[in-house]
Structure 1
Amino acid sequence: MASHGVPRTSAPTERTPQAQAAELQKIQEYKDLVELVNTKIRQREYTADTLALISKLLKRNPEYYSIWNHRRLVLQQLFSDAQQAAQIKQPITSSNDTTSHPESTPDNATTDAAPATHPTQYPASEQIELLLISDLHFLVPLLREFPKCYWIWNHRQWLLQQATHLLPVPRVRRLWQEELGLVAKMLSMDSRNFHGWGYRRRVVAELESPELQGTSMAEDEFSYTTKMIKTSLSNFSAWHYRSKLIPRLLNERGASREERRKFLDSEFNLIQNALWTDSADQSLWFYHAFLMSELSTTPSTSSSSSSSSPSTSSSSAIIPDLSPTERVALLSRELDNIKEMLEDEDEDDTDTAPAERKYIYHALVQSTLEKQKWIRAVEAHAEPKAIADDKDEVQSWISKLRALDPFRMGRWDDVARQVDDLYA
């Protein structure tokens, strides 16, 4: 059996007494290390030595979230030490350093305890930057081994937030830009890591912020989603990020109505091509549903007479003022595309498992219902025969859904009631 394409390992074999003894020793060493770190924290020994012990512990178990809190306490103290040392013009030392230093040292003086190349000779901001960079580097191998560990990502974000508060803007921007490069590299290795995608959005938000003298990155990020989608169509995070970028992208472009319509058509073409490649991928159908939502706002009329003017009060992300007639035309086009896709799947008995065709049937049902709503909003009377034919077709698709997905029988019953109400 496989999970996400990775086969499970076989059941462990019986271990020798020597192997069991070695494992027990490792467990005891781990417990001793945990106790030592907790003792240091209780005694408020927030020093570089304690930081090293915490690093050793986290390499063994990065899921121990309390230890990440301990690490932040130590780092905050080291940042404070650096600032205080800069104020009194002396290099900082750990609390257990027995070497004495004068309160001030002439610029041309040298000492054996603190040579000119020692990090403690740097100004406070540079010393803090070294601490931050060192901790960011410490996290890289952990992220490679545990790319979906929340606590590593959280701590990394905390480090960069500290940089934002403690360092000059040019240095902070450089750190955040390097972070964007790192997360891009990680997503190139695992393009569906939703932790990485969420983290990327936070990094971009910081780089765009006024505090860092940022500007919009919507165009670049939209191009990035296109690149990642072309690399792997089955990437829910990339499609989701794309949907969130679109409204801002179009507003920043100052897109005209014609440009918005062309944009919507291009996005439909993109997702249709993807669905023709893999119609069983749920992430693709989610994005298709997002685009269809542009056409599916509920029509309202002032009266039931034939002279009533259908309208919609909700705002769309791409084209806020689509007319009812345009909606019907677009819904008809997409409905024909999905029907064509179903016909192709019916001819192919090998590539797609029948159970996966439920996505197609569901899209057909929803698209037809939305189309009928808008037709009835535009026209006072619809042709009875056409309505009857549509109803029979929709009911047949619902029957397919009941057979393919019996665990959601209640949902399909609810859809069937919607059909009865619409065609009553």
Structure 2
Amino acid sequence: MHGVKRTRYSKEALEAKRQKDRAKLAEYLTLTDEVLAKKKDDWSKAAFDLTTRLLQVNPEFYTVWNYRRNILLNGIFPKSTPVEINDILSTDLSFTTAALKLHPKVYWIWNHRQWCLGQVPDGPTEEDPNGWRQAYWNKELFVVERMLDADARNFHAWNYRRNVLANMPVKRPLRAELDYTTRKIEANFSNFSAWHQRSKVLSALWEKGELDPIQSKEEEYELVKNAMYTDPNDQSVWIYHRWLIGPGEDYDILTREIGAIQDLLEIQPDSKWCLESLVFYKRALLRHHRSRMDATQLRKLVDECLDMLQTLCNVDPYRRRRYTDLREQVLSTRDTIA
């Protein structure tokens, strides 16, 4: 890498490193053979400890994660009290927390963590069967928020967060989650996962009648417009904008947003996403609102799409074939105009 000083090894040092690496590999292969040999019917604590050692070396070894769970289900849990199971799960969650700090995007670690939470026993009392579970899920939400503080765009953590929210015995208010996505988006507009989460939360709020869709959408358009002007080349913002507009059946909103994007295009004339979005939305006008325009206006709209697609061929040559195909589709539209 540029600017990084290379370390030069002597022949002796290189040979020593190779021998050390060979020894590590031999140890890993021996450990792997030992674990896999036990996998069929050994549900002992000793086998469980071996899986810990192996997963510390290779956390992507999903077969060993499966074996670890079988040991717990078939060997350890049946001999344990609910309090002991609670302690075992707490220890295993701590184990995966340490693993995630080093490997935050390994699916199998997240998967095992989710499994552990599903095994939490009832308690601590008959009157409060969700007591332990709620405490675990509350802590889990805190853990995943710390993971997203470290990497706000880790989609594994966002997916896991959705699972946590869905499974908490006492649900987190949707508005609190909406506020959370606002903070993440305002910290960094280029956060596709946060925008995606926001769309899920808003849809749920609208469906439950907890938020007025007309007013809240207007607020969303303002938020996304700020994001567009801050970074017009960020894909996530434009995808979210298309989600807001939907198929484009609302003529007033569609034409208003086209005007706003055209204003931005005057400032950023070579913006790929401005151009692509204008073509997308103007074609929506041609599909859904043709009756509102006469033949001259329709032909003008088609010509504008053709011109923008030609510009896209120049500013984004890697997708030239795609834009050429779109031009053919737009040209066929022109043939249908009386």
Give yes or no for TM over 0.5. yes
Residue 375 (structure 1) shift? 3.3
What does 1:139-218 align with in structure 2 at a 5 Å threshold?
139-163=96-120, 168-207=129-168, 212=169, 214-215=170-171, 217-218=173-174
Whether 1:296 aligns to 2:248 is yes
CA distance 1:365–1:164, shift in 2 (3 Å): farther
Whether 1:368 aligns to 2:282 is yes
CA distance 1:244–1:230, shift in 2 (3 Å): same
Q: Runs of at least 4 residues of structure 1 off by over 4 A?
A: 7-15, 164-167
After superposition, the C-alpha distances for 1:105-124 in whole angstroms (9 at most, x for unaligned) are: xxxxxxxxxxxxxxxxxxx1
Q: What residue in structure 2 maps to residue 359 of structure 1? A: 273
Whether 1:401 aligns to 2:312 is yes
TM-score normalized by the length of structure 2: 0.89
Residue 52 (structure 1) shift? 1.7
After superposition, the C-alpha distances for 1:219-243 in whole angstroms (9 at most, x for unaligned) are: 2211111111111111111111111
What does 1:10-49 align with in structure 2 at a 5 Å threshold?
16-42=14-40, 44-49=41-46
After superposition, the C-alpha distances for 1:155-181 in whole angstroms (9 at most, x for unaligned) are: 111111111679842111111111111
What does 1:326-337 align with in structure 2 at a 5 Å threshold?
327-337=250-260
**Tell me, which stretches of 5 or more residues in structure 2 are unaligned?**
none
Whether 1:68 aligns to 2:21 is no
Counterparts of 2:8 and 2:221, CA distance in 1: 50
After superposition, the C-alpha distances for 1:4-61 in whole angstroms (9 at most, x for unaligned) are: xxx999799776222211111111111222222233334x332222222211111111
Q: What residue in structure 1 maps to residue 327 of structure 2? A: 416
Counterparts of 2:27 and 2:324, CA distance in 1: 59
Residue 145 (structure 1) shift? 0.2
Paired letter, 2:162: R
Q: CA RMSD in A?
A: 2.5
Larger helix fraction of residues: 2
Q: What residue in structure 2 maps to residue 55 of structure 1? A: 52
Whether 1:344 aligns to 2:267 is yes
Counterparts of 2:299 and 2:8, CA distance in 1: 62
Counterparts of 1:345 and 1:128, CA distance in 2: 60
Identity of aligned residues (%): 32
Whether 1:383 aligns to 2:294 is yes
Residue 215 (structure 1) shift? 3.8
* Aligned match for 1:221, one of 177, 184, 190: 177
After superposition, the C-alpha distances for 1:184-243 in whole angstroms (9 at most, x for unaligned) are: 110010000000000010111101xxxx3x346322211111111111111111111111
Whether 1:274 aligns to 2:221 is no
Counterparts of 1:57 and 1:369, CA distance in 2: 56
Paired letter, 2:277: A
Which has more radius of gyration? 1
Q: What residue in structure 2 maps to residue 111 of structure 1? A: none
3-state SS of paired residue (2:141): helix
TM-score normalized by the length of structure 1: 0.72
Counterparts of 2:102 and 2:209, CA distance in 1: 41
Counterparts of 1:160 and 1:250, CA distance in 2: 30
Counterparts of 2:20 and 2:209, CA distance in 1: 64
After superposition, the C-alpha distances for 1:351-378 in whole angstroms (9 at most, x for unaligned) are: xxx4xx221111111112222434323x
Tell me if structure 1 keeps the 8 A contact 2:107–2:156.
yes
Q: What residue in structure 1 maps to residue 89 of structure 2? A: 132
Counterparts of 2:120 and 2:223, CA distance in 1: 40
Q: What residue in structure 1 maps to residue 208 of structure 2? A: 252
After superposition, the C-alpha distances for 1:50-105 in whole angstroms (9 at most, x for unaligned) are: 222211111111111111112111111210111xxxxxxxxxxxxxxxxxxxxxxx
Residue 392 (structure 1) shift? 2.5
3-state SS of paired residue (1:18): helix
Counterparts of 1:373 and 1:190, CA distance in 2: 41
Q: What residue in structure 2 maps to residue 87 of structure 1? A: none
Tell me if structure 2 keeps the 8 A contact 1:358–1:400.
no
Counterparts of 1:409 and 1:67, CA distance in 2: 47
Tell me if structure 2 keeps the 8 A contact 1:225–1:241.
yes
**Tell me, which stretches of 5 or more residues in structure 1 are unaligned?**
83-123, 298-326, 347-353
Residue 386 (structure 1) shift? 2.9
* Aligned match for 1:234, one of 173, 182, 190: 190
